[in-house]
Copies of this chain bind each other. A is one copy, B any other.
Amino acid sequence: MRKNAVVLLSGGLDSATVLAIAKNEGFLPHTLSFDYGQRHRWELEQACRIAEKTGVACHQVIRFDLRAFGGSALTSDIVVPKGRDVSDAGIPITYVPARNTIFLSFALAWAETLGSSDIFIGVNALDYSGYPDCRPEYIAAYQRMANLATKAGVQGGQNLTIHTPLIQLTKAEIIRAGLALGVDYSLTSSCYDPSPDGRPCGTCDSCQLRRKGFAEAGMRDPLQN
């Protein structure tokens, strides 16, 4: 019998690849998306389509509103930077305070009710935007905390693992890994500021990192026609 896993699925390129990896490793994926007041809600429809096409045990969307706190171009009226040099040092204004901490916490809740000890997240510490909650030391600290947070942590039961298969890959390596596993990148959405029908802006950080990745992988991005 396949082991249950909770896979955070944003609808982007990275998490779609992680889902394919989890499935390929023999897990039965339960995918989790968040409607958190993000500017780029289009990704939620794509996440649903990716889950359906990949084949998962259950796909759920949790809703809350991070616009209550603001502090990010993705959850407030702050303009999404376009044409920025993505190699610039510093944490850009698209950083959403504590977002991965919140996402992982809901994944932990679901994992505990499923009796699962495996959570997958598509964080990446190479071709990324410098977000603090994508770094290996953060993930290691989260895993230590999570192993004290649950019933299993008290009862000395199974150890929870936060799987981060992409953390040391370049965007090009992620794309190659995904294509080898049959990921349909035409279903993924990376743009922070897409048009209402989902067309990417082409110039935000996330669009730039995606284009660079496909170029370095020597592949055509199916979203670029």
Contacts and interface: CB of A to CB of B under 8 A. Distances in A.
A97 B63 contact: no
A62 interface: yes
Contact of A68 (B60, B65, B141): B60
Contact of A113 (B69, B137, B150, B151): B69
A198 interface: no
A71 B142 CA distance: 22
A101 interface: yes
Interface residues of A, number: 44
Interface stretch (A21-29, A104-112, A183-191): A104-112
Interface of A: 60, 62-66, 68-71, 91, 95-102, 104-106, 108-110, 112-113, 130, 132-133, 135, 137-138, 141-142, 144-146, 148-151, 153-154
Given A102-B105, A132-B151, A141-B149, 7 more contacts: A63-B65, A98-B108, A98-B109, A102-B102, A102-B106, A135-B148, A138-B153
